[in-house]
Structure 1
Amino acid sequence: MAVALRGLATVVPPTVLVQEEVRDVFAAQPGLTRLAQRIVATSFNVSGIDTRHTVLIELSREAHPDEPVFFDIRSGELLLPGTKARNELYVEHATTLYLDAARAALAATPGIGPADVTHVITVSCTGFYAPGPDYVLARDLGLPPDVERYHLGFMGCYASIPALRLAKQLCEATPDAVVLVVSAELCTLHLRASNDPDTIVASSLFSDGAGAGIVTARPLEPGERAFDLDRFATRITPVGEGDMAWKIGDHGFEMVLSNAVPAIIDQHITGAMEPLFAHDDALAEALRTDASSEAIEHWAIHPGGRSILDKVESRLVLTEEQLVPARATLRDFGNMSSATVLFVLRHILDQASSGDGERVAAMAFGPGLTVETALLTVRG
């Protein structure tokens, strides 16, 4: 029984951050040391990002609230609101992104409507509220009153892959199931000025966005393009637990993203791919002989940062073309935590070069250091 990811849709908030302008704001903050100013310049300049999106409209040139919460445009100073103020904005804006992404996914899935949805899985690590986004989707989309709901919270950047794995398992257990999966992340709510290198790196990368899709074993409609969800695997690297972390502080959530992460991924990425390819002799042999780029046509790599993509490309001997979906996503949208890999998959599906039957290896990284992988097949 083939289980497919259908109706894959992505949305972003309307406010655009231009990377060079954001760099200059962060570099001009009072209290920054000269070393921190140099780190800001380097981190932003080599990020591989041109633009990002944010729900914080006061960061735009057009919005000038009389009582700013995050950014005082008159002084150019980034403010330091508490976690409560940040989370209240999450409740307001994440709800909109969840609903917009879910509606787009349903509209893009022929033959499936709200009444068909049997399960909802929501994903986020950038805020909390209850009743949560799973409840809001059921209520505002008019889903059946007995729809089953699950929320994967605070897992980090890799969480959309476990969400798709869970959705597939639900479909295998109930062949007529229709699972709505939605990831929404508002990372910019937690950005702040700092002399800490890890915080500076996070400020140069993270952004807001949402992705959604329908997972079901129901047959595709004529002309529909989707992904078969073939197989999933997970691996915890033996090092790196303290190099990527996400904790709740008094002034928002605090990201630890050390400069050792690219080297850890470089050292352990091949081992992390082994369980995904273990059941296919040809793929396992391709991994051993550095021929993965020939065995797998497309690669949906979570663009945690430019240096991470460089390490993955080099270690797995991938072509520059195979990294275009990940690099283009990073360039245009930044790192949207768990939602990002859905943007990369959407890019692959939109490519004229992706044809029926071609395979996709997806990979995302997060706290632990955890590597989640998936093997997919293009359909349509």
Structure 2
Amino acid sequence: MFSTLSTIGHFLNIQILLFKSNNIFSLLLWCSLIAFIATFYQKKCSKNVYLVDFACYNPFPRGICSKEMFIEQSKRVGHLKESIDFQKKILDRSGFGNKTYVPESLLENPPNICTNAARKETESVIFGAIDELLLKTKMKVEDIDILITNCSIFNPSPSLSAMVVNHYKLKHQILCYNLSGMGCSAGLIAIDLAKQLLEVHPNSYALVVSTENINSGYYLGNNRSMLVSNCLFRVGGAAILLSNISSDSHHSKYHLKHTIRTHKGSRDNCYNSVFQKEDETNKITGVSLSKDLMSTAGFALKENITTLGKFVLPLLEKFKFVSTFVVKKYFNKKMKVYTPDFKLCFEHFCIHTGGKAVLVDIQKVLGLSDFQLEPSRMTLYRYGNTSSSSIWYVLAYCEAKGRIRKGDKIWQIAFGSGFKCNTAVWCALRDVDPIKEINPWMDEISQFPVDVSI
């Protein structure tokens, strides 16, 4: 560092002499020096990305919808009466409890499906999450430099990011992005985008808001592949504050270590596994979930963790994987490729709560214990599938249980349409004291875990 400054000092002395002689060469060197200092300073400031804090939206009790209540509401919709038994079966296998949330518009008689109701739902979730984040961090809205919102289904004009700018009167120079149609993994895509922006914009704060809209995604037909979404998705949202300011490391919660994005959209079966379209009547729009969805998710996960393993696995685990892979490819086709033990790398696993079957399959693939899967399983039970925000409810559960200790590694895993598997790795910068937390779990965390084996 000191040698660099000394070199720059000598360089300046030479330039002063050249500048006095009106040398054109001096001007060029001055420009080079400015560019060098700017690049050096930018890299110095943008090396690390910190998660200052995050907040999960806590819905109002009047939005609680038990499984029985959900079925009763479906009976009131003429088109859905024919598929009641199928919906019951999906709910029985969902891993849900009886306190998940739906928009109040869906509890009306009949359900109120319209743009105004969808907008009201999204405003409630997004503003609720941001308000809580601002309360937790004491952040001033005028200090936010980057804003990224993501919602797959509901994309009104003006955009959701514009909605936030207008509501909080954010500054005119803010870098504003709105991600749509990217499914349940879009929350981690937004984190990755924020990371890349923070790498080129020093001394900045980025606000990421992840949610989904249940009203606009509600399907009113009888196509079974589309009715599954009705049964699984619930109200939720999260707001995350990121920073690249070095002084923020002293009070931030986490340091972002890695983001890995895997996209399998070039394969037709992956691309079509989650698809928004009209049903066979060509009148009613819904999101179809194909029978290939689980195998597609497993395929995307395998490639994602293979890439991640290069960065996080111990050398011995890498050797075991590579050696069995080579043997299988060149010598013995029946050879089973070794699955690395990621439990050696991470203390906490925050897996997207896509459904009970998703969690069971990932538990088998990664060899996780029931304790390690508990945060995701309890989040699915209490809040259902809240799409891109689900991994933040899972992390909030870990915090509420007092399990986060300084130095702990957290692995977030999410899947989404396209088909995508995205992951993020965080390192805890401090112990998280649950007593000091503002957290949607805090009032009832003592009641968990519950038995969900039935």
Q: Do the two structures share a fold, i.e. TM-score over 0.5?
A: yes
Q: Which AA in structure 2 matches 1:372?
A: N
Q: How does 1:7-46 map to 2 (within 5 A)?
A: 7-14=53-60, 15-26=63-74, 36-46=83-93
> Alignment partner for residue 88 of structure 1, among 106, 110, 116?
116
Aligned residues: 357
Name 1:258's counterpart in structure 2.
290
What CA distance in whole angstroms lies between the structure 2 residues aligned with 1:354 and 1:231? 19
Q: Structure 1 vs Structure 2: percent identity of aligned residues?
A: 22
Q: Compared with structure 1, are the counterparts of its residues 376 and 246 closer, same or farther at alpha carbon in structure 2 (3 Å cutoff)? A: farther
Higher helix share: 2
Give the distance between the partners of 1:118 and 1:21, measured in 2 at CA.
Answer: 43
For the 8 Å contact 1:263–1:311, the answer to whether it is kept is no
1:241 aligned onto 2:271: yes
Say if 1:271 and 1:58 are closer, same or farther in 2 by CA, change over 3 A: closer
CA RMSD of aligned residues (A): 2.6
Q: Confirm or deny: 8 A CA contact 2:206 2:241 kept in the other structure.
A: yes
User: Offset at 1:40?
Assistant: 2.0
Do structure 1's residue 270 and structure 2's residue 275 form an aligned pair? Answer: no
- Which aligned pairs between 1:187-206 and structure 2 lie closer than 5 A? 187-206=214-233
CA distance in 2, matches of 1:297, 1:27: 45
Q: Do the aligned partners of residues 198 and 248 (structure 1) sit closer, same or farther apart at CA in structure 2, a change above 3 Å counting?
A: closer
CA positional deviation for 1:188:
4.0
The question of 1:53 aligning with 2:101 is answered yes
Unaligned runs of 5+ in 2: 1-46, 322-337, 431-454
Query: Whose relative contact order is higher, 1 or 2, with alpha carbons under 8 Å and at least 6 apart?
Result: 1
Letter in 2 for 1:240: C
> Secondary structure in 2 aligned to 1:277?
helix
Q: TM-score, structure 1 length as denominator?
A: 0.85
Residue of structure 1 equivalent to 2:258: 231
How many Å separate the matches in 2 of 1:201 and 1:349? 31
Question: Whole-Å Cα distance in 2 between the matches of residues 27 and 49 of structure 1?
Answer: 20
Pick closer, same or farther for the CA change 1:52–1:248 going to 2, 3 Å. Answer: farther
Deviation at 1:173? 1.1
* Whole-angstrom distance in 2 between the partners of 1:248 and 1:213: 34
User: Which residue, out of 408, 415, 430, partners 1:358?
Assistant: 408
Pairing partner for 2:212 from 180, 185, 189: 185
State whether residues 87 and 227 of structure 2, in contact with CA within 8 Å, keep that contact through their aligned partners in structure 1.
yes
How has the CA–CA distance of structure 1 residues 28 and 150 changed in structure 2, closer, same or farther, with 3 Å as cutoff?
closer
Match status 1:301 vs 2:346 = no
Change (3 A) 1:242 1:232: same
Q: TM-score, normalised by structure 2?
A: 0.72
Which has more radius of gyration?
2
CA distance in 1, matches of 2:172, 2:218: 38
- Residues 48-127 of structure 1 correspond to what in structure 2 (within 5 A)? 48-50=95-97, 51-57=99-105, 59=107, 68-70=110-112, 81=113, 85=114, 87-110=115-138, 112-127=139-154
* Residue 343 (structure 1) aligned with residue 389 (structure 2): no
Deviations 1:326-355 (A, max 9, x none): 111111111122222222232233331221
What CA distance in whole angstroms lies between the structure 2 residues aligned with 1:26 and 1:49?
A: 17
Q: Look up the match of 1:146.
A: 173
Task: Confirm or deny: 8 A CA contact 1:124 1:184 kept in the other structure.
Answer: yes
Structure 1 counterpart of 2:158: 131
Q: Distance in 2 between matches of 1:96 and 1:28?
A: 26
Matches of 2:125 and 2:80, distance apart in 1? 34
Match of 1:4 in 2: 50
Aligned in 2, Cα 1:156/1:69: closer, same or farther, shift over 3 Å? same
- Which SS does the other structure have where 1:374 is aligned? strand
Counterparts of 1:32 and 1:252, CA distance in 2: 12
Q: CA deviation at 1:30?
A: 5.2
8 A Cα contact 1:188 1:208, kept in partner: no
Aligned partners of 2:71 and 2:84 also within 8 Å: no
Tell me if structure 2 keeps the 8 A contact 1:3–1:228: yes
Deviates more, 1:161-170 or 1:263-272: 263-272
Post-superposition Cα deviations, 1:186-227, rounded to whole Å, max 9, x if no partner, equal 2244323543221232121011121101110223376x4522
- Residue type of the alignment partner of 2:100: R
Of 228-237 and 161-170, deviating more is: 228-237
Query: 1:211 matched to which residue of 2?
Result: 238
The structural deviation recorded for 1:31 is 6.2
Q: 1:304 to 1:340 in 2, by over 3 A?
A: same
Query: Residues 253 and 342 of structure 1: is their aligned pair in 2 closer, same or farther, counting only changes over 3 Å?
Result: farther
1:369 Cα deviation from its structure 2 partner: 1.7
Relative to structure 1, the CA distance from residue 104 to residue 259 in structure 2 (aligned partners, 3 Å threshold; closer, same or farther) is same
CA contact (8 A) 1:244 1:257 kept: yes
SS of the residue aligned with 1:273? helix
Shift of 1:248: 7.1
Q: Is the contact between residue 47 and residue 306 of structure 1 (CA under 8 Å) also seen in structure 2? A: yes
Could you tell me which amino acid in structure 2 is paired with residue 20 of structure 1? E
Q: 1:292 aligns with which of 309, 334, 342?
A: 342
Shift of 1:298: 0.9
Change (3 A) 1:91 1:289: closer
Q: Using the TM superposition, give the Cα deviation of residue 149 of structure 1 relative to its aligned residue in structure 2, in angstroms.
A: 0.7
Structure with greater strand percent = 1
Query: 1:248 & 1:379 partners in 2: Cα distance?
Result: 48
Give the equivalent residue in structure 2 for 1:325. 375
Name the CA distance, whole Å, in 2 between partners of 1:365 and 1:260. Answer: 14
Q: Counterpart amino acid of 1:266?
A: G
